[in-house]
């Protein structure tokens, strides 16, 4: 075991190296991690939008469901289509973040319409009941 000066530590000054010397570091890292997650909202479960009506587009139903994350809303939702009596679902989750729920819902519908237009019939041609789009 030995002593070394480490100015980059939280307290600065002398730090003891050796058996058990990392205990304080782990406690401090845990403390700062908890503190940061409290402000970023990462420990809170993501919640989908409630009460948003589906939008019909080209034989599909678009269900906007933005996810609340750290005071913003992530573009997310699902596209459903009835094929041979079975409902097929394609999930849409993108990296786009919005400051308001209304903007997130609007852009989720636009993105889902774009996915439907770009993929056409092949979006549901594989017959899988649920997958990402």
Q: Which of 25-29, 103-107, 124-128 has the lowest mean pLDDT?
A: 25-29
The proportion of the chain whose per-residue pLDDT surpasses 70, expressed as a percent, equals: 62
Dihedral angle of Cα 10, 11, 13, 15, to the nearest 10 degrees = -70
Residue 65 CA to residue 49 CA, distance in Å, equals: 5
Give residue 19's pLDDT. 54
67 contacts 42 by C-beta, under 8 angstroms: no
The pLDDT assigned to 46 comes to 40
Which residue in this structure is represented by tokens 């600065």?
A: 12
On whether the CB atoms of residues 109 and 55 are closer than 8 A, the answer is yes
Rounded to the nearest integer, the mean pLDDT of the chain is 78
Instruction: Report the pLDDT averaged over residues 48-58.
Output: 79
Architecture of domain 55-132: 2-Layer Sandwich (3.30)
Indicate the domain borders of the chain: 2-40, 55-132
Residue 120 has pLDDT above 80, yes or no: yes
Write down the pLDDT at residue 48: 47
Comparing 103 with 36, the larger pLDDT belongs to: 103
Q: Is the pLDDT of residue 41 over 80?
A: no
Which residue would you say has higher pLDDT here, 31 or 118?
118
pTM of the model as a whole: 0.63
């Amino acid at each position: 075991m030995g002593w070394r000066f480490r100015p980059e530590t939280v307290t600065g000054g002398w730090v003891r190296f050796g058996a058990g010397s990392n205990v304080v570091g782990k406690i401090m890292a845990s403390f700062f991690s908890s503190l940061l997650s409290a402000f970023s909202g990462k420990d809170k479960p993501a919640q989908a939008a409630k009460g948003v009506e589906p939008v019909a587009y080209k034989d599909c139903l678009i269900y906007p469901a933005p996810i609340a994350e750290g005071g913003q809303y992530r573009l997310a939702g699902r596209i459903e289509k009835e094929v041979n009596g079975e409902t097929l679902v394609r999930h849409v989750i993108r990296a786009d973040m919005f400051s308001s729920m209304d903007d997130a819902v609007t852009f989720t519908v636009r993105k889902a319409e774009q996915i439907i237009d770009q993929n056409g019939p092949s979006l549901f041609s594989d017959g899988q009941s649920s997958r990402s789009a």
